[in-house]
Every structure is written in C-alpha cells, then in structure tokens.
C-alpha cells in the first residue's frame, strides 16, 4: 500500500492527489499537519529517499521562516533536524509518497510516472 502524506489546502498536494486519482492509484492518505510522521518514521523515509535531510524541509512555509531555520539547518545534526521535522508536520515538504521501499518528496509528474512504472 502506498502512503500519501499531504496537506489538503496545499496546491502542490492537490495536484499530486489529482494525478493519483486520474491514474487510479489507491493510497492511504495521511493529513500531515494532523498526523505528522514520528521521528523514527521520518528517519526511515529519509534513509530510503536517498536525499539530503535538508530536502525534507518546507523552506517556503511560514513555520520555517518563523523559526529562522534557514541558518540553523546548515549546522544542525541529523538528530536535531529529525526532531524539528517531527515537532510540526507543517515543517515537512509535501506531499510525501512512499510504498515502504521508495520515497518521493514534493510533486513531479515524471517522478510519479517513474515511481508507478508508467514512464
């Protein structure tokens, strides 16, 4: 089963959801602000993604700016970054799509097509 972490008011998330619906992909939807992934789950997603942990931050979000994270994430340890991400789902770049093995952050139609073998 594919898990889709999203925020329904997010335009990018809605585009991704529309793509999934149009391609008949059933997903387990998780509202990222109401049910943010726990630290251990985030660590797993990070490790499976192959991306730098900094890519998991919603750098255009209000919470990111409020906390002044731009400079903090440059020097913070992975543990500190995971704690920050786990503290508030709005800090996480969205949507996050995972099948338990692979992870896609954000929405890119080509990445989705590749993920679901439709490329």
Alpha-carbon distance of 64 to 17, in angstroms, equals: 24
**CB contact at 8 A, 115 and 107:** no
Domain at 57, CATH number: 3.40.30.10
Number of domains within the chain: 1
In this prediction the pTM is 0.93
pLDDT in tens, the chain (119 residues): 899 999 999 999 999 999 999 999 999 999 999 999 999 999 999 999 999 999 999 999 999 999 999 989 999 999 999 999 999 999 999 999 999 999 999 999 999 999 998 65
Boundaries of domain holding 23: 2-115
Query: Which residues are 104's β-sheet partners?
Result: 97
Instruction: Count Cβ atoms within 10 A of the Cβ of residue 95 and give its class: 0-12 exposed, 13-18 middle, 19 or more buried.
Output: buried
């Amino acid at each position: 089963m594919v898990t889709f972490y999203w925020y329904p008011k997010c335009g990018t998330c809605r585009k991704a959801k529309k793509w999934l619906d149009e391609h008949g992909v059933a997903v387990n939807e998780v509202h990222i602000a109401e049910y943010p992934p726990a630290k251990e789950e985030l660590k797993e997603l990070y490790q499976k993604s192959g991306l730098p942990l900094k890519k998991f931050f919603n750098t255009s979000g209000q919470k990111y700016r409020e906390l002044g994270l731009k400079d903090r994430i440059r020097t913070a340890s992975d543990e500190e970054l995971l704690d920050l991400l786990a503290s508030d789902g709005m800090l996480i770049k969205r949507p996050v799509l995972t099948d338990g093995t692979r992870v896609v952050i954000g929405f890119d139609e080509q990445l989705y097509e590749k993920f679901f073998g439709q490329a």
